[in-house]
């Protein structure tokens, strides 16, 4: 009927920022529900896996986005289907499964690798530390920058990696070429990646400060304690009603449900007090015992915080 009236079908349209973001939020919520159900059923199993639980979450997300965004799923996850967008290549063809899996891998790896427990010595100066900085910080900065500022094609890093576009899905649309991205965006993304490589340098400079260097032997000691998978250590202060409280705090992720073990918490606190040369200046020693999991798509924790006055531990 349109042709009889001399009307042309509308041209293809790149999906806008908010529509695409909305689809992604819906997909994240769906994955979160799946993750929470699995976490409730396999809480102890995932908790004992530690950082490896993120591999399970990544595999689930990879399967979800990789399969549904490919020709198998019509280029549409649930969120994309509900908001009327789909993933295609430059010729308006749906992606093959390997291509779609690669597309999500470029998007997902920086996010799932962020927060992985890495030994400070590795993070601050080794080749692996620089590689992690490039992948995690460089990748995330480039993804966010391109997603926000590449208004012409709305291609982010994962789209550019496989030559994909996210379009408004209308079967009657005319097949016209997609617009071309301004090449300056590539230069800015590369600059952001280069900036990210400075993270280990900054961390190494910070490690030379006295406060950090003094805590490193204690950090290593806590990391080797029985049932401790990862350890965090910091000095903190709070101010209330003109009174300032200084504390030495540790957070220990355990491989067993021992968060209510008072004896373990006190033993850790005593080791902290004994090893800290500045303990006389601390008002409290805080031990946070944690048992739980983080799959990347969902997390669950059981936590107990113990606080001791420093003079009680001397």
The pTM score is 0.86
Tell whether the model's pLDDT for residue 181 goes beyond 70: yes
**Helix residue ranges, H only, 175-243:** 184-196, 199-207, 210-223
Predicted local confidence at residue 6, as pLDDT: 43
Q: What is the mean pLDDT of the chain?
A: 87
Tell whether the model's pLDDT for residue 33 goes beyond 80: yes
- For the stretch 280-312, pLDDT in tens is 778 889 999 999 999 999 999 999 999 998 777
Average pLDDT value for residue range 176-196: 85
- For the stretch 125-175, pLDDT in tens is 677 778 888 899 999 999 999 999 999 999 999 999 999 999 998 655 555
Reading phi first (left if > 0) and then psi (alpha if -120 to 50, else beta), residue 154 is in left
- Return the domain boundaries, the chain: 17-205, 210-313
Q: Are 31 and 112 in contact (CB under 8 A)?
A: no
Tell whether the model's pLDDT for residue 213 goes beyond 80: no
- DSSP strand pairing (228-240 vs 243-254): antiparallel
CATH code at 210-313: 3.30.70.1350
Distance (Å, whole) CA 185 – CA 208: 36
What are the CA-CA distances from residue 112 to residues 60, 204, 250, 294, 302 (Å)? 12, 24, 24, 10, 22
């Amino acid at each position: 009927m349109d042709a009889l009236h001399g009307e042309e079908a509308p041209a293809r349209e790149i999906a806008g920022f908010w529509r695409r973001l909305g689809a992604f939020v819906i997909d994240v919520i769906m994955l979160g529900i799946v993750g929470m159900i699995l976490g409730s059923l396999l809480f102890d199993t995932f908790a004992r896996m530690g950082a490896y639980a993120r591999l399970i979450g990544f595999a689930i997300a990879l399967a979800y986005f990789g399969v549904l965004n490919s020709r198998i799923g019509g280029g549409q996850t649930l969120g994309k289907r509900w908001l009327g967008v789909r993933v295609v290549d430059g010729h308006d063809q749906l992606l093959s499964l390997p291509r779609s899996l690669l597309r999500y891998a470029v998007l997902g790896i920086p996010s799932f690798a962020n927060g992985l427990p890495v030994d400070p010595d590795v993070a601050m100066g080794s080749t692996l530390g620089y590689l992690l900085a490039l992948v995690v910080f460089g990748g995330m900065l480039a993804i966010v920058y391109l997603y926000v500022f590449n208004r012409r094609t709305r291609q982010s890093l994962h789209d550019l990696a496989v030559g994909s576009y996210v379009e408004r899905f209308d079967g009657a649309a005319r097949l016209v070429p997609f617009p071309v991205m301004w090449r300056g965006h590539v230069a800015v993304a590369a600059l952001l990646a280069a900036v990210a490589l400075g993270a280990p340098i900054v961390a190494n400079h910070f490690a030379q400060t006295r406060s950090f260097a003094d805590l490193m032997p204690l950090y290593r000691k806590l990391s080797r304690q029985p049932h401790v998978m990862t350890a965090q250590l910091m000095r903190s202060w709070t101010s209330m009603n003109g009174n300032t409280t200084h504390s030495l705090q540790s957070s220990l992720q355990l491989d067993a449900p021992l968060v209510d073990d008072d004896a373990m918490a006190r033993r850790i606190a005593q080791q902290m007090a004994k090893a800290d040369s500045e303990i006389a200046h601390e008002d409290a020693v805080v031990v946070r015992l944690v048992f739980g999991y983080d799959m990347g798509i969902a997390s669950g924790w059981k936590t107990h915080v113990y606080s001791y006055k420093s003079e009680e531990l001397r």
